[in-house]
Structure 1
Amino acid sequence: MSEMDVLLSETERSFGLRQIQAGHARMLVIGRDVNQPIGEVWNALSDPSRIAAYFAEPRGELRRGGDYELEGYATGMILRCDPPRMLTVTWLPPHGNPGELEIHLTDVDGSTRVELLFASVRKKFAVIDPEVAAWAAGPGWEFFLDRLDAHVHGRELSPNMVSWEQMEEAEQELYQARNAAWERVRDEFERQHAPLPGPE
């Protein structure tokens, strides 16, 4: 098995359907194991100063029912917060197609199982869309989990970026390979489900 195959195998990828505030949505599900206690992972996902260290600093009313902003990425509302198990927020990126992000944490023998669910009413949100200069949600959220994992393990992080096209060559290669993996998962899902109404 190549190094790329090993990196790709660290993540479980699937699709589903979900009803969100914005309507009927497709949902991608990313499963990843993080070798740190659940409290440490939760703190890294909920402490604004720690989020800023590997992603972007959230601003606003950071409580259930409050509005938040991640400059350059999204605005939204905090729908649910159940420490240290679940966080759910609405997600409105600059391109304007609303979605919903939910993160579940489960303790597994002192390590943490992270399940990230991202739903959007936009049909082409999961993989690279040449017509939209934005992160593809599938490989994009995997990159977020890479940075979260590096942060909780104290590894040095490269500067964050607002476009995947700013990545170094090796990171871009991994991003493209993950995108291809999501394309295969999406195609299989579409063979089994009728198209949903909504924007492309």
Structure 2
Amino acid sequence: MSITIDPVATAGLVSREVRDGSRDGTPTKIAVARRTYDAEQSDLWQAVTSPERIPRWFMPVSGDLSVGGRYQLEGNAGGLVERCDAPESFAVTWEFGGGVSWVEVSLTPADGGTTLELLHESPVDPDFWTQYGPGAVGVGWDLGLLGLGLHLATGATMDPKESEAWALSPEGVEFARHASAGWADAAIADGDDADAARAAGERTLAFYTTPAPTPEA
């Protein structure tokens, strides 16, 4: 399906928050994204937990999606399903590139639909945080929540190549620009230096909107 949205308005549908946390005495940062969808809670729950529907808006998933099972997103993270309280919330580990972080998704009824809240908690790497801030994970989730919204609204399946091309289009870059700025504002609200947070946001924007180098022949 083609992606036709107002990039600024759509980026504005997500509220963003940054919190400090701790896991086993190790400091963490928690990126929180919330968006309300015009969907019944049961339908939204199925969209974010069904192995048949997740690939329609996110990416192919394999493995055992029951509690205690391990999942793998194609070409991306895998991990352990730690908890599932249908149709309200689930929690998984997010294992990628040798690191482990944690993702929790909660659904609550809202006027006219259902609010999805996603928390991504990661150990603090000071150098990485200085370079990219919360947008490193946040903008990726913004793009995922965008795909989920289009799927819920139309029932259509997102084409990965089309989605990748859109992300590099003027509309996609504008969406990422506003998402990155939103995460920078969330970091500032959590106490980060404003200039440093906005500079990190610009680096995050470049990361998400710079085409991958073409392999040499």
Smaller-chain TM-score range? Answer: 0.7 to 0.9
- Residue 190 of structure 1 aligns to a residue whose secondary structure is coil
Q: Deviations over 1:22-56 (max 9, x none)?
A: 94310011111100000000000111010011111
Aligned equivalents of 1:61, 1:11: Cα separation in 2: 30
**Structure 2: 5+ residue stretches without partners:** 1-5, 194-217
Q: Secondary structure at the match of 2:99?
A: coil
Instruction: Indicate the larger mover: 79-88 or 105-114.
Output: 105-114
Q: Which has the larger radius of gyration?
A: 2
TM-score (norm 2): 0.74
* Contact 2:29/2:122 (<8 A) preserved: yes
- Which residue of 9, 12, 20 maps to 1:6? 9
- Cα deviation, residue 113, structure 1: 0.6
Tell me, yes or no, if the aligned pair for 2:8 and 2:178 is still in contact at 8 Å: no
Is the 1:91–1:100 contact (alpha carbons within 8 Å) kept by the matching residues of 2?
yes
The answer to whether structure 1 residue 168 and structure 2 residue 185 are counterparts is no
Conserved? CA contact 2:10–2:146, under 8 Å: no
Matched residue count: 185
| 1:183 pairs with 2:177 | no
Query: Are the aligned partners of 1:128 and 1:179 in contact in 2 as well (CA < 8 Å)?
Result: no
> What CA distance in whole angstroms lies between the structure 2 residues aligned with 1:15 and 1:41?
24
Partner of 2:137: 137
Alignment counterpart, residue 37 of structure 2, candidates 34, 39, 42: 34
Q: Give how far 1:127 is off.
A: 9.2
- Seq. identity, %: 26
For structure 1, the 5+ residue unaligned runs are 130-134, 193-200
Among residues 52, 58, 63, which one is paired with 1:60 in the alignment?
Answer: 63
Q: Does 18-27 or 115-124 show the bigger shift?
A: 18-27
CA RMSD, aligned part only?
A: 3.0
**Equivalence map 1:40-51=2 (5 Å):** 40-51=43-54
1:65-76, aligned counterparts within 5 Å? 65-76=68-79
How many angstroms does 1:67 deviate by? 0.9
CA displacement, residues 36-84 of structure 1 (integer Å, 9 cap, x when unaligned): 0000000001110100111112211221011111021101100111111
